[in-house]
Structure formats: C-alpha cells, structure tokens
Amino acid sequence: MNAFRTLDSADLKGKRVLLRVDLNVPMEHGKVADATRIDRVLPTIREIADKGGKVILMAHLGRPKGAPNEAYSLRPVAAAVAERLGKPVAFASDCVGEPAAKAVAAMKNGDVLLLENTRFHKEEEKNDPAFVDKLAKLGDVYVNDAFSAAHRAHASTEGLAHKMPAYAGRAMQAELEALTLALGAPVRPAAAIIGGAKVSGKLELLGNLIKKVDILIIGGGMANTFLFAEGKAVGKSLCEKDLADMARSIMQAGRAANCQILLPVDATVAKELKPHAPSRFVDVDHVG
C-alpha cells in the first residue's frame, strides 16, 4: 500500500482540480522546442478530465524573478499542451485574482485550463500563506504531478498540499514508487544518477544518497561545480563556484561512506551558448 494518496482514492467528478505540473520546457522562437515534459503529465490530465474533474494546470517557466515578463509567459505552452492532448486548453492571464477566477468559473466538467506562470508573483517562491490562500480559492482538490519541482517548498508545490485534500498524480506516483523500490531495499550494487543545474537545490538529496547507494553519478550543470572544486576549468559554463567547498565536503563524505562519486570525463564545448551552435567534445582537462 502506498504511503501517499493517489488518484485511485480521489473524488474528482465536478471538482475544480488544481494540478501542479512541470511545464518548464525549452522554448525556441516563441514555441515549445521539446514537449517531453508535456507528454509526461498527459495521462494525469486525461484521467482527471475523463473522471469529470475541471483540470486547472499550474506551472512555472524559467526564472522571471517574481514579476510578469512576456518572455516567460506560459501562453504558447497552452497551445502545445492542447496539441499534444488533442483537446482545447484555455489560458488565464494570471494565476490568481480576477483573470484566474473568471477563467475557472467558465469551466465545465472535463475542461482544461492553464494558469499563467506562478513565478510572476514573488510570493510563489516564498511560499507566502496569503498567496497559498489565493491559489486555494480556485480549487477543491490539489494534485501534484511535478516531481522535478517537488523538492522546492513553494506555494504551488508545498503550500497547497497543507491547505487542500492532496493527491499524487500518475507521474509523481511512478517516481515515488520507483524511489521506494530503489532506496528502500536496493539490490546491490546500487547506483544513482543525479543531474540538473544547481548543487544548491539538491544538497540534502546528495547527502542522503551517498549513504544509500554504492555509486553516485553526477551530471548536468551541477557537475561543473564538482569539477571546479577539483581544480578543473569550466569556462563560462553554469557553475556555483561559491559552493566549491560544499562540493568537496560531499566528495569527502562519499569516500567515508564507501560511495564512489563519478563525474564526467569529457564535455561538449562551444563558443556561445545558443541552440545549434557549433560544438565539439573535449576531455574535461582541456576545457578553456
């Protein structure tokens, strides 16, 4: 039996369902360049709609720094979700207030609505109780299907779960069940692969993993911080240089726990960071 509630036990018919999803997708020329994250949450959206719920999608895009910014609007993402879903997806020009309330009031059972970027409000990342209340007024039930954003205690990812009847969506359920299987009683040797942009957002996770696995493989942007901590050049790559000491302490803790930490041995380098820029592979010891 799951230690968390899933859609199997949720009464959704006629309910306004606030569904937190990860739609932080790459954009090119105002259009979604990779719909992988959209596809991941489609089963949950369809299930709630098929059960007669009103699906109210909440998500963020990029880092707009707590203020409206057209460059980070989710409006074009709504069109991409509608295309992949095969049914209309309405869009509200704000995630709270009158625009959101009117859009929700116009919904019928089975409809899908996407609210504007939650990070257009600084209160989102602060998990402000008043902002949580504003979001909660829009729904009857809360479902979280954004596993990749669940480690952040923000209003739409953590605050609402304490305010409303809360359930895990199908993507979240699959991730939690896989983690339980992998970390509860793993078959040895066990390895974990961790990526993402920043070490700072995953410090507690890394500290826990080195106690549970035999091999920890670190990739993505966060690997640059560890490579920098080892004295390797990282050029202009994303790197939290101020966390070099922390990276070294994690490496030391890994050795103490008999956990082998593996970092990239080569890298893709380019003269500029933009889509389709000419690039090549080099050894990490030869990054400029």
Q: Do residues 115 and 60 lie in contact, with contact meaning Cβ atoms separated by under 8 Å?
A: no
Say which CATH class 7-172 falls into: alpha beta
Q: Under 8 Å CB-to-CB from 229, ≥6 apart: which residues?
A: 244, 245, 247, 248, 251
Model confidence at 2, pLDDT cuts 50, 70, 90, reads low
Per-residue pLDDT at 196 exceeds 90: no
Q: For helices 36-50 and 75-85, give the axis angle rounded to 10 degrees.
A: 70
What is the pLDDT of the chain when averaged over all its residues?
93
Per-residue pLDDT at 195 exceeds 70: yes
Predicted local distance difference test score (pLDDT) of residue 1: 41
Q: Which residue carries 């359920």 as its tokens?
A: 173
Angle at alpha carbon of residue 179, lines to 46 and 172, rounded to 5°? 20
Report, as an integer, the average pLDDT of 193-198. 85
pTM (predicted TM-score): 0.80
| Of 26, 44, 42, nearest in space to 34 by CA | 26
Q: CA 257 to CA 252: how far, in whole Å?
A: 9
7-172 and 186-286 share one fold: yes
Predicted local distance difference test score (pLDDT) of residue 225: 93
Model confidence at 287, pLDDT cuts 50, 70, 90, reads confident
What is the CATH number assigned to the segment(s) 186-286? Answer: 3.40.50.1260
- Rounded percentage of the chain residues whose pLDDT exceeds 70: 99
pLDDT tens digit sequence for 39-83: 999 999 999 999 999 999 999 999 999 999 999 999 999 999 999
What ranges do the domains of the chain cover? 7-172, 186-286
Report, as an integer, the average pLDDT of 247-261. 95
